[in-house]
Structure 1
Amino acid sequence: MLDQPQFGRRLKRLRTARGLSQADVVGDGMSTGHLSRLESGDRRPTERTVAYLAQRLGVDASALTGPQDGRSLSGVLAAVASAPPGTDSTAALSRAVEDDPGEDPAARRQALWLLSQAADRDGDHQSERTRLLELLALRRSLDAPDLHTRSLVRYARCTRAIGDLHTAESAATEALSLARTAHLCVPDTLAALLELINSETELGRWEAASQHVDELDRDLLPRASALQAAEALWTAAVVSSRKGDDAAAMARLNKALGLLEDGREDLTAWARLRTAAAAAALQMSPPRVAAAEEWLTEAASVPDLTGTPAQLQELHALQAHLAFAQGRLEDAALLSRTVLSEEDLRLPYRDRVRLSVLDGRLAIHAGRVEEGVAALQQLARQATQSRHVGLAAHVWQALATALAARIHPSGAAPCQTRPGRSGGPRSVSRLGTRTGGADGIAESRGKP
């Protein structure tokens, strides 16, 4: 018999994997309250209970009580580490974590870290958040300030992608404080500071972000690796652009791109940085469309970026925004509706809102004025209520620009408005070019 809470975790996994509610499982022989206590680990199961639940789930009793595969969590981690490239070990690792008695906090931490990485790659930030919260709870068991700092940085990045900026800012602030107190290495301190700058920028705290950029330039950039320096310069460029200094932003972007000029150090990072730089260029006023298209074309030379559904959604959103900036409204409308109508939409919060803004603007351009205005007003109210200052400003300005273009059509291609987003470079899949399809802006997040 498995001890609790391992039994409860396995019971819940078997139930949810079959799409069953607690009421579906209990039938007439058990209350949902009793099942809930079993799943939470508050009640130990009897043999009779196990037999009944196994029958209700359609499994052998050993599926609830027996060892998963005879290996410890450490053994599963070793198998994951030595697996051939391309092997998806997420399910096996997840089962091992659920069955883990918690005797080796270091192994559990590593497993949770890998699972959070997998969820991030899939764009499943709610699952990533759940894993990271479990990971952060291990702090008392592991006296390792460097590991806790990295967990906090990832948690800040994850909650920012979800749209919870205040939690993101709090986590980044704690990470930076811990990194400084523990005198951690430059990469850990820099990662925490960059995430704090990203959160401050999205919250509209541009002066605080600027002060931290000054600290970045003075204390950390000179000692950073080329890869981290490129990410730092990109982040600083976003701050410059939000403050209206597009010349400084372009200078930082070009310097960042020069640090990873040929891609030999990290080809994937090289392509991601160019994608992120193009996104930043298209956020400027007026948008630097030619530079953006050039950088996207360079990024398209890396074929192995094609991957997860989340990355493909980011790509198509990127294509929609650039098509709009180039005046190809039909392409932009088709791409934006294709992404927004997907059943499993995994764009980050900010990307999702910005693409919805584009969709509203396109509705106004197409003559569906009331529909577009109502959609944009609702988005603006939501952004304001959630205290996304820069995002709310972007929505209101997009509405004003679309209506002005409707009243005074000029025949010029529509352009992006200044209030924008921040975030670290993020991978997207293979990029199209002007001749191969529409291109545009997608939310960039994470490290290059």
Structure 2
Amino acid sequence: MMEQPFFGRRLRELRQERGLSQAALAGDEISTGYLSRLESGARQPTDRVVAYLADRFGVDRSAFDVPPSGGSLAQALSIATSTDSDEAIEALITALNRAPGADLLSRWQALWVVFRYWRRQGRHSEERACLEELARIADELGLPELQCRAWAQLARLLRSTGEVARAIGVASRAYQLASEAKLSVSDTGAALQTLVAAEAEAGQLPDARAHVDELVRLTERGGSDVARTEALWSAATVRSRQGDHEGARDYLERAMLGLESRVDLTLWVRLRLAAASLYLQTKPPMVDHGRDCLQEAGTALSLVGTPVLRQELLTLQAYLAFHEGRFDDARRAHDELSRDELLLVYRDQVRLGILDSRLLLLEGREAEGLGRLKELGEEARQSSNIDLAADIWRILAEALEELHQGRPVPAP
């Protein structure tokens, strides 16, 4: 079978070259409506139809494999950047695969669009392949802005998938280049933000604290509303990792107050998910605040929901159910997540595993629950997530103490 939408575009081109109407080309073999859907890319052609059309045009069927004239990478890129259509992005991916020798700048632009598409979809392996090539092309071009953007985004992905040590190295490189080239607040801030996140993940909290305070000062001097909001969010994350939950709440609440939903609705939702997570991790958990944030985020997700955001919401709803003593609801939410491919970042996947362990202990499957916690702690240690590993070992110790004393297992 031929690939859409290029088959449809090539079909239309061949028909118009010969001056045929759709009705004349369709003849008695296929309907005009079906031919129209083939040309629009809405239907996939069968082998019989391809053979019929090739015979009508007097060409070999391989003629449909070639993108139409003007169906170049440049055209596919123009179409993809002027619409939010997934079909247009998929056509761009096909054009990229068919044009390995395209000039480097055009290829970089196309890959940047595709990388953001994979990111929205939560497809980490495809996103990584794009970013690795973007970084290689940027280095070859020697353009500091492109280098900084590619490296910063690659560092972000590496951190989110658990490769923290490499993420720190890549982010440091991006930040150093941004500083030396005196790049914009946007580029410098993006590099700093990924460096802060990686350092915090690795437990290098003094370095992360120094860099995030620099990031906040930088964005307050000249950043956009979104940049300032993300800087405050990063500051909240670092303070939370340092155990300063009051300071973390202050920064996160400032971030939420400083961003209206009309500016960036997706970021607005993500902030409320982050706030809910922080409220539920506070000792003792601030359940009412967490519930309110999840309700706000859930309402907005109907407008901007992506598979990743929906999984994050369901994960936090499982935590909320656990804290409220609705253990059956927590288990159902966990099992629903487990049935699909997990798109969560590494840390959230580990925390979901912790929740599963706690539920196993409550369900009387003590050996399984304790064994799972030990596996998670060792996995976090080996991936250099020091603070996360320490948190898991603490939870394991608490669980063992509670089981020894015959008391209910505490919340995660």
The TM-score normalised by the length of structure 2 is 0.80
Q: Deviations over 1:3-35 (max 9, x none)?
A: xxxxxxxxxxxxxxxxxxxxxxxxxxxxxxxxx
Contact 2:175 2:191 in 1 (8 A): yes
Aligned with 1:183: secondary structure?
A: coil
- Per-residue deviation, 1:303: 4.3
- Per-residue deviation, 1:387: 1.8
- Per-residue deviation, 1:101: 4.1
d(CA) in 1 for partners of 2:410, 2:68: 58
Q: Deviations over 1:369-390 (max 9, x none)?
A: 0111111111111221222112
User: 1:104: which partner in 2?
Assistant: 103
1:415 corresponds to 2:411: yes
Contact 1:360 1:376 in 2 (8 A): yes
Match 2:264 to one of 263, 266, 273: 266
- Per-residue deviation, 1:126: 0.9
Match 2:389 to one of 380, 389, 392: 392
Over the aligned positions, Cα root-mean-square deviation in angstroms equals 2.2
1:170-319 matches, within 5 Å, as 170-260=169-259, 262-305=260-303, 307-319=305-317
Aligned with 1:415: secondary structure?
A: coil
* Larger RCO: 1 or 2 (CA < 8 Å, sep 6+): 1
1:383 corresponds to 2:380: yes
Ranges in structure 1 where 5+ consecutive residues have no aligned partner: 1-59, 417-448
- Per-residue deviation, 1:156: 0.8
Contact 2:308 2:343 in 1 (8 A): yes
User: 1:337: which partner in 2?
Assistant: 335
Q: Once structures 1 and 2 are overlaid, which stretch shifts more, 308-317 or 186-195?
A: 308-317
Amino acid at match of 1:162: T
Q: Deviations over 1:295-353 (max 9, x none)?
A: 222223314446443333222212112222222211111111221233x2322222212
d(CA) in 1 for partners of 2:170, 2:190: 12
User: 1:13: which partner in 2?
Assistant: none
The TM-score normalised by the length of structure 1 is 0.74
1:366 corresponds to 2:391: no
- Per-residue deviation, 1:81: 2.4
Contact 1:160 1:199 in 2 (8 A): yes
Contact 1:234 1:277 in 2 (8 A): no
- Per-residue deviation, 1:409: 5.5
CA, structure 1 residues 161+69, in 2 after alignment: closer, same or farther (shift >3 Å)? farther
Contact 2:377 2:393 in 1 (8 A): yes
1:155 corresponds to 2:154: yes
- Per-residue deviation, 1:186: 0.8
- Per-residue deviation, 1:410: 5.5
Q: Deviations over 1:234-277 (max 9, x none)?
A: 111111111121111111111111101x4232233222212222
Q: Deviations over 1:162-199 (max 9, x none)?
A: 11111211111111111111111111111111111100
CA, structure 1 residues 409+353, in 2 after alignment: closer, same or farther (shift >3 Å)? same
d(CA) in 1 for partners of 2:269, 2:346: 23
Going by fraction, where is helix more abundant, 1 or 2? Answer: 2
d(CA) in 2 for partners of 1:139, 1:231: 25
d(CA) in 1 for partners of 2:313, 2:85: 22
- % identical aligned pairs: 40
Amino acid at match of 2:385: H
Q: Once structures 1 and 2 are overlaid, which stretch shifts more, 193-202 or 331-340?
A: 331-340
Amino acid at match of 1:75: Q
d(CA) in 2 for partners of 1:256, 1:129: 29
Contact 1:361 1:398 in 2 (8 A): no
d(CA) in 2 for partners of 1:174, 1:164: 16
Aligned with 1:300: secondary structure?
A: helix
1:349 corresponds to 2:343: no
CA, structure 1 residues 141+213, in 2 after alignment: closer, same or farther (shift >3 Å)? closer
d(CA) in 2 for partners of 1:289, 1:370: 29
User: 2:52: which partner in 1?
Assistant: none
User: 2:398: which partner in 1?
Assistant: 401
- Per-residue deviation, 1:61: 7.6
User: 2:49: which partner in 1?
Assistant: none
Contact 1:327 1:414 in 2 (8 A): no
Aligned length: 352
